[in-house]
Chain A
Amino acid sequence: MNQAIENLLQRFGEAVIEWTQVSPNEVRLTVSASHWRDIAQYLHDDPLWQMDYPADLTVWDTGNEFGVYLRLWSSVYNHNVVVLTSISREEARIASLATLYPGVDWHEREMYDMYGVIFEGHPNLKRILLPDDWEGFPFRKDYVAEPSGNPLHGPQPVN
C-alpha cells in the first residue's frame, strides 16, 4: 500500500491535503474538493489501488461548511480508503461520481434530497426519499422544521 500512497501523493501533490494510514489496509485522505472526481477516478483506475467497490458516500453539516465522506473498498487487495473533503454551504456543489461508481447514484440523490448539495454531472439528480414538492433541505442545521412549511396534502395523481 505504501507504493500506492506514494504514487498518489506524487500525482496529485497539493490536492491531497492530509493523509493518515489508520491500519495496514486502510488509509484516510483529506483532499481538496476541486480534485474530487479526478482522485476518485485515479483510485478506481490505478492498478495499485483498484478501488472498485463504492461502499458509502455521505455529507454532513458542521454549521460552517459541508463535509463530504466517501468510502471505497478494493476487491483485489482488500484495502479501504476513506476520502474526505469540505465544500462551502452557499455554493454546495461537488462533482458527481455516479457515472464512475453506479453505486453512489442513490447516495448522491439522498444527499441532494437532505442537504441540497448539487452533484454536478449526476444523470438523475432529484429527490429520493422526500416528496418532489418538498420545501427546503431538512438535514441542514439551519432548517426550520415547522409543519406550516410543508403542509399535508391529499393523494397525488399517479404520473
Chain B
Amino acid sequence: MVINVGPQHPSTHGVLRLILTLDGEQIVACEPVIGYLHRGLEKMMERRPYRHNIPFTDRLDYLAALSNNLGICQCIERLGGVEVPERAQYIRVLLMELQRIASHLVFLGTFGTDLGATTMFLYAFREREMVLDLLEECTGARLTYNWVRVGGVPDDLPEGFGQKVLDFAKLFRQRIEEYDMLLTRNRIFRSRTQGVGVLPKETALAYGCSGPVARASGIPYDIRKVAPYEVYDRVEFDVPVFEDGDVWARYLVRMEELRQSLRIIEQVLRDMPDGPVQTKLPKIFKPPAGIAYSRVESPRGELSFMMVSDGSPNPVRVHIRAPSFVNLSVLPRLLEGAKVADLVAILGSIDVVLGEIDR
C-alpha cells in the first residue's frame, strides 16, 4: 500500500512530503519529496553584492539564523582575506552557542510532542524564551537576527549582558536536570527511542551525515574540533559521541551538547578581551577572483558555504551545503523495515529544517 505523508502534516516539521510504500505495518520504501519552500536563494545571491546576502541566510535554517550568518560571513572573509578582531570572534562564539541552545530546545520540545510527551514542549519553550530574550537584547531580533557582519559583528554586547548570560547558564543547568527527569528517565520515552532507527557508522559516513546524526553513529565529526574556527580552539569542551546510532543516541548527543554549550559560554565570557569588534572595509567590496569555502558546525551539522568570485562586486556562485539536506537523504535507508509508528520518532530525531533543505 502506498500512503502519502505531508506536505501539510504536523509531524513533518515543515513542508516535507514522504511517499511511503507499506507492507502491513512495515515501511518497505520511502521517497522524500522536497522543494515546496524553494526560493532560489543561491541565484538571488548571485545578483547582489556580497554583503547584501547576509539577510537571506536568516531564512535558511530559521531556527539557527546566527550560524548561517556566520557561515556566509566566514566564506566572504576567506575570499577577501579579511581579518576579524579578537573580541568579535569571542562574541561570535558566545552567540553561536546561545543559538545552539535555542535550536536544541526546539528539537527537545517538538520531539517530545511528536512522541506524546507534551509537557516537554512547555518546559523547553519556557527556557528557549529566555535565550531569545537574551539574543533580542543583543541583536534586536528574535528569529532573523542578521547580526554577524563581514569582518566582525555590528556592535558590542550591551551593558551587563555577560552577567545575564551567566545567570541564565546557572539556572539552565538545573533545568537540564528537569528535562532528564521528564524524558531521559522516562520509561515510555526510552522504549519508543532505544533501538529504533539505527544508522550504522558506515552508512552515516557514506551518506555524508554530519552533526548530532553522525556523532550518534560513532563518527567524532564536529567542525569545531576537526577544523576549528573563530576561538573554538581556545575553549575546552567535549564532543559527545555515541556508538548505537539509534534515535535514543541522537537525543542523548543533543542533551549533552546543551551542557557543553554552557561550558563554552562560561569560558568565553571569562576570557573575552576588550577591543574593537569590526574591521573597516571599503564601501564597495571586491574580493579577488577565486574559490573559497567555509565550514561551520550549525546545530544540525556541517553547514558549508562555497563561493566563486571573478573579482567583481557580485559573487559568480554561492552554494550552500545545508546539513539537513544531506541528513535527510539518509532517511529512506533509515525507514527501510521500520514500523509506521516509528516514522515520527525517526524523522524527528534527524531534526530537519525545511528552510535550508529547499533553500
- State A60–B38 Cα separation when bound (angstroms): 18
B194 CB–A CB distance under 8 Å: no
Residues on A with beta carbons closer than 8 Å to the beta carbon of B317: 58, 60-61
- State A78–B66 Cα separation when bound (angstroms): 27
Q: Is the CB of A105 within 8 A of B329?
A: yes
With A53-B221, A129-B358 known as contacts, the answer to whether A103 contacts B207 (CB < 8 A) is: yes
Q: Is the CB of B42 within 8 A of A75?
A: no
Q: Which of B128-136, B137-145, B182-190, B302-310 is near enough to bind chain A?
A: B302-310
Q: Is the CB of B38 within 8 A of A52?
A: no
Residues on B with beta carbons closer than 8 Å to the beta carbon of A107: 326
User: Per a CB cutoff under 8 Å, which of B43, B321, B329, B358 touches A55?
Assistant: B321
User: Per a CB cutoff under 8 Å, which of B227, B293, B319, B329 touches A106?
Assistant: B329
**B261 to A: closest C-beta gap in Å:** 23
Interface residues of A in 22-68 (CB under 8 A from B): 52-56, 58, 60-62, 67
- State A139–B319 Cα separation when bound (angstroms): 11
- Produce 1/0 per residue, B221-258, CB < 8 A to A: 10000110000000000000000000000000000000
Q: Is the CB of A128 within 8 A of B306?
A: no
With A56-B306, A84-B291 known as contacts, the answer to whether A106 contacts B326 (CB < 8 A) is: yes
Q: Is the CB of A78 within 8 A of B206?
A: no
**B291 to A: closest C-beta gap in Å:** 7
Residues on B with beta carbons closer than 8 Å to the beta carbon of A130: 35, 38
- State A56–B34 Cα separation when bound (angstroms): 19
With A62-B310, A130-B35 known as contacts, the answer to whether A56 contacts B325 (CB < 8 A) is: no
With A69-B306, A106-B329, A128-B34 known as contacts, the answer to whether A55 contacts B226 (CB < 8 A) is: no
B40 CB–A CB distance under 8 Å: yes
Q: Is the CB of B34 within 8 A of A129?
A: yes
User: Per a CB cutoff under 8 Å, which of A55, A69, A103, A131 touches B291?
Assistant: A69
Q: Is the CB of B35 within 8 A of A129?
A: yes
Residues on A with beta carbons closer than 8 Å to the beta carbon of B208: 53-55, 101, 103-104
A71 CB–B CB distance under 8 Å: yes
Main SS class of interface, A: mixed
User: Per a CB cutoff under 8 Å, which of A56, A61, A102, A131 touches B207?
Assistant: A102
With A102-B207, A105-B329, A106-B325 known as contacts, the answer to whether A138 contacts B43 (CB < 8 A) is: yes
With A103-B326, A130-B35 known as contacts, the answer to whether A56 contacts B219 (CB < 8 A) is: no
Interface residues of B in 1-60 (CB under 8 A from A): 2, 4, 19, 34-35, 38, 40, 42-43
- Produce 1/0 per residue, B202-219, CB < 8 A to A: 010111110000000001
A152 CB–B CB distance under 8 Å: no
**B333 to A: closest C-beta gap in Å:** 8
- Produce 1/0 per residue, A70-91, CB < 8 A to B: 0101010010101010000000
A53, A73, A114: residue with the most chain B Cβ atoms closer than 10 Å:
A53
With A55-B321, A138-B40 known as contacts, the answer to whether A128 contacts B35 (CB < 8 A) is: yes
Q: Is the CB of A60 within 8 A of B319?
A: yes
- Smallest CB gap from B310: residue in A: A62
Residues on A with beta carbons closer than 8 Å to the beta carbon of B302: 55
B269 CB–A CB distance under 8 Å: no
Residues on B with beta carbons closer than 8 Å to the beta carbon of A58: 306, 317, 319, 321
Residues on A with beta carbons closer than 8 Å to the beta carbon of B209: 103
B316 CB–A CB distance under 8 Å: yes
- Produce 1/0 per residue, A129-159, CB < 8 A to B: 1110000001100000000000000000011
**B35 to A: closest C-beta gap in Å:** 4
- Smallest CB gap from A80: residue in B: B227
A52, A60, A78, A102: residue with the most chain B Cβ atoms closer than 10 Å:
A60
The 10 closest A-B pairs by CB, nearest first: A103-B208, A60-B317, A129-B35, A58-B319, A106-B329, A103-B207, A56-B321, A129-B38, A54-B208, A60-B308
Interface set of A (CB-CB < 8 Å, partner B) = 52-56, 58, 60-62, 67, 69, 71, 73, 75, 78, 80, 82, 84, 101-107, 114, 128-131, 138-139, 158-159
Interface set of B (CB-CB < 8 Å, partner A) = 2, 4, 19, 34-35, 38, 40, 42-43, 203, 205-209, 219, 221, 226-227, 291, 293, 302, 304, 306, 308, 310, 316-317, 319, 321, 325-326, 329, 358-359
